[in-house]
Structure 1
Amino acid sequence: MKRLLFVVIAIVALNYGCKEEKQPISSNTIELISPQEMQEISQMEDVQLIDVRTPKEYKEGYIEGFQNIDFFSDTFSQEIEKLDKSKPVIVYCRSGRRSSDCAKQLKEEGFVKIYDLEGGITKWEFEGYEIRVN
């Protein structure tokens, strides 16, 4: 009888312990997107387009329509504050590291939807998409 009780308790404990807790849907999310997805999303009305590389990197080549806000700049936070938190934002950098950090900061600041270009402008260019040069 003790053995049966132990088995029942073990089954109940495993059943509750393995259940996946449902997380509330966050009002602000980060989505990693491919160059093809970015091409489509960047055409949406009201989307804000941000290149977070340095001005030097930006001059070497950029994706048309994107505003340069240097992630390493002392004024980065003030520049981000000028954006509309209720509108989606696409961010990219050279390879994806800075834009990932930027996306996390935007999420903390309360932006509703953040898209981060996977692989940055390097992947964008590698996949044959056009870049502009100053």
Structure 2
Amino acid sequence: MKKLPLLLFALLLTIGAYAQTSQSKLSDIKKSPEAIVQEIKEGKAYLVDVRTPEEYKEGHLAYSKNIDIKAADFKSQVSKLDRNKPVYLYCRSGNRSGKAADTLQTLNFKSAYNIGGFADLKTAGLPAEP
């Protein structure tokens, strides 16, 4: 578990180009990786997998919640999240999570970040669940 914050930090640095929140960049986040991980664990931030339920069942990141961007009720489902909490989004490749981040911005979420694709995140060492 001690390696998780370091891996998250390395991951966030390598995918900084994907970060989105009102056009701000990852470097604008004034929190340590450890603080971000702790926020997710404590429910102060969200980690959202926007892939289909079938993809999610095949494997997903620990602490994530599945809200399918292709579902008709996607906007309704994400609207249930606290708009003032950071939302870290991922999918298979980073494409759908980028679109989801844009959608969250239009729904007035304070912070929505596209952190990329599941395979890359898993390869980077983030914990996954079957």
Written as runs of structure 1 = structure 2, the 5 A alignment for 1:44-83 is 44=39, 45=42, 46-83=44-81
How far apart, CA to CA, are the structure 2 residues paired with 1:108 and 1:50?
17
Max Rg structure: 1
Cα gap change, 1:82 to 1:30, in 2 (>3 Å): farther
Cα gap change, 1:114 to 1:42, in 2 (>3 Å): farther
Cα gap change, 1:123 to 1:32, in 2 (>3 Å): farther
For structure 2, the residue ranges without an aligned partner over 5 or more in a row are 1-20
The residue identity in structure 2 corresponding to 1:131 is A
Deviation at 1:43, TM superposition (A): 2.4
What do the CA deviations read for 1:81-116 (whole angstroms, capped 9, x no partner)? 101111111111011000000000001110001121
Deviation at 1:68, TM superposition (A): 0.4
1:116 counterpart SS class: strand
Q: CA RMSD in A?
A: 2.3
Cα gap change, 1:51 to 1:86, in 2 (>3 Å): same
How high is the sequence identity, in percent, across the aligned residues?
A: 37
Match of 2:108 in 1: 110
Deviation at 1:38, TM superposition (A): 6.9
Cα gap change, 1:40 to 1:124, in 2 (>3 Å): farther
The residue identity in structure 1 corresponding to 2:37 is S
How far apart, CA to CA, are the structure 2 residues paired with 1:39 and 1:92?
19
TM-score of the superposed pair, with normalisation by structure 1: 0.68
TM-score of the superposed pair, with normalisation by structure 2: 0.70
Tell me whether 1:128 sits opposite 2:125 in the alignment: yes
Match of 1:21 in 2: none
Match of 1:84 in 2: 82
Cα gap change, 1:52 to 1:38, in 2 (>3 Å): farther
Tell me whether 1:41 sits opposite 2:39 in the alignment: no
